[in-house]
Structure 1
Amino acid sequence: MSRKMSKQDSMQNIRPLVPSFVLAATLSCATMSVGCAPSAPPAAPAPAAPAGPTEAELETARALFIDAMKDEEAQDWAAARDKLKQAGAVKMTASIRYHTGLCEEQLKFPCEALNDYIAAVGLARDNEDSEVLLASIEGLSRLGGRLQVLKTFSPSAAGHIGIQCSPHGDGILESFRAEAEARQLEGVRQHALGNVAGAWMAFKQAYTIYPSPKILWNLAMAELDSGKNLDAARHLHAYVASKDPTVTDDKKKMASKRLAEARKKLGGILVEAQGARILVDQEPLPEGYEEGDLIELDPGHHVVVAETGEKRRERSIKVKLGKVARVLFD
């Protein structure tokens, strides 16, 4: 990713979040309390499970998503929403749900947007997609402050703005925060008991439910304690890059020191690609990374790709322990 999303981003500047497919009994008579017939007719065969989408259908969905992102860039929200719904009918992803909600928010369909953001949060949590999760929670935050106002209007008086929102949208952010805080406290308890693995699992669950700087810091510390140096480095990098006001300069200095410790047990690359989209081992840059940042990697062979429009360039690189390699694209 080129940069982390923040609440300061304008709606027009939100970068497309690309979905993953853009990157492909019977009880016996003895157990019955009443009599039963000597033989029961055979049960009807269960209906066959519906087949998944074909490669041709997925290709069509990919094209629809790409076109929808172009429509979003042009702020043609209605056209983008229509194409996203068509793509989602083939295969629904967290990214499609998020962007559908974004379009509906811009089109002044707040209740529909709210429900799509909620659905996107669930899909992103299931797939541990932190970028979509953060963006969807930000969408919920934007709408959350308006829900009580929305419910004071009638549909006839305020058009779409007055549509009553589904009850399951009420307090959704608070429920996420409460659940994450419970996992966070469990992580602290497990750490105090010396259960490093248990603490890490609790913090990871908490951050997946509701990302926050406090949980991110504890997760990174648990990763350092358990030898998950690459994960720790990525999370500390995101912490240092955070624009959250609670992450003070002193906290960022402390995080930078711990990041330097993690890097000693890893390797890294510096990529020069003049504004291209960077992928490492088929994955986009992690949360908080921008062009020119040192990308921490485990020692070994890696493949770096730079995408500019339809152009795709690829480099194979060997990363050595404690060393930083430069990857240059013309």
Structure 2
Amino acid sequence: MPLTFPLTRNAAPASTERIAEIHADPGFGAYFTDHMAVATWRQGSGWGGDGVVPYAPFQLDPSCAVLHYAQEVFEGLKAYRHADGSIWLFRPERNAQRLQASSRRLMLPELPVEDFLASIEQLVRVDAAWTPAAVGGEASLYIRPFMFANEPFLGVRAAQRVTYSVIASPVGPYFPGGVKPVNIWVTDEYSRAGKGGTGAAKCGGNYASSLIAQYEGAAHGCSQVLFADAGTGVNTEELGGMNIMVITAEGELITPALTGTILEGVTRDSILTVASELGLRPVARTITLAEIFDRVDSGDIIEAFACGTAAVLTPVAEFRSRQGNHAVGSEPGERTLQIREAILDLQYGRAEDTHGWLRRVV
């Protein structure tokens, strides 16, 4: 039976005035809506106990499996308010499919796509007032579905009770003062994922293990870190939370191919599709760090950017490493901004959705 996520209303929802106050300066992931979606999976009976309920803390047993063995996965997507007041999701089916793939890798139950969509749509409808208008910026409602092992048991095996939930948070523009290029630290000491590991899954452990390199980069004036492959340290992979792309003088848009150690970004896939419509030649292949550095230094790579749900596109100013620095440019590239605007125009309904990527909720 499909899950329906029946509503139990919050008896003390935020006032219209309080929501407006939060929308004026939401930050990122600092405030949460009045409700959350929940469901429980049990070995032998499957999914049930679904609902949209008041936002509240979970009560976990100290022996809860996720606290000891990190069996959890999550997703990230946004709801966008269009000029006419309607609210839309952008390619949520891809997030549903990726959550299933992550769940398989972490030995968690797969949530059917229709149940994933129902949970998000019901939550967005109930808390529609929390989705900010995009006028004058890129504000949206960030949506975080997640799943974790919620069984009191100390033993290394797949959990027999699992909790699924969706929470939502209004967020402002990633670059409130305008799009600014960032410096990228290229670590030669730490790896994000190895062959056969969890690199292609969206799980918290990947992000936790990347933090030490992130702080290493911060000490060198960088706000993001780029990882090479764990096997050789030669091939470019991805940032701690974003995919990487470069643009050549000949009009190629190059990004590392998916090899099982790189997260298959929804924004990444969307950019590869849109880029060809903008006259670029998208190429997904193995690309070494040395090739990127050499071609940046020679002027053959003229733009570079990272991409993901939060920022859409983040221009790269410089790649820095212990071996030297490689400057791309102090201003966002023309093509980078063109691609970024094309994706945003689709998400906010300012351009025709010829791909069928948008899904109306309200």
TM superposition score normalised by structure 1? 0.26
Instruction: Give the structure with the larger strand fraction.
Output: 2
Give 1 or 2 for the bigger CA radius of gyration.
Answer: 1
Instruction: Give the structure with the larger helix fraction.
Output: 1
TM superposition score normalised by structure 2? 0.25
Comparing both chains, which one has the higher relative contact order based on Cα–Cα distances under 8 Å and sequence gaps of 6 or more? 2
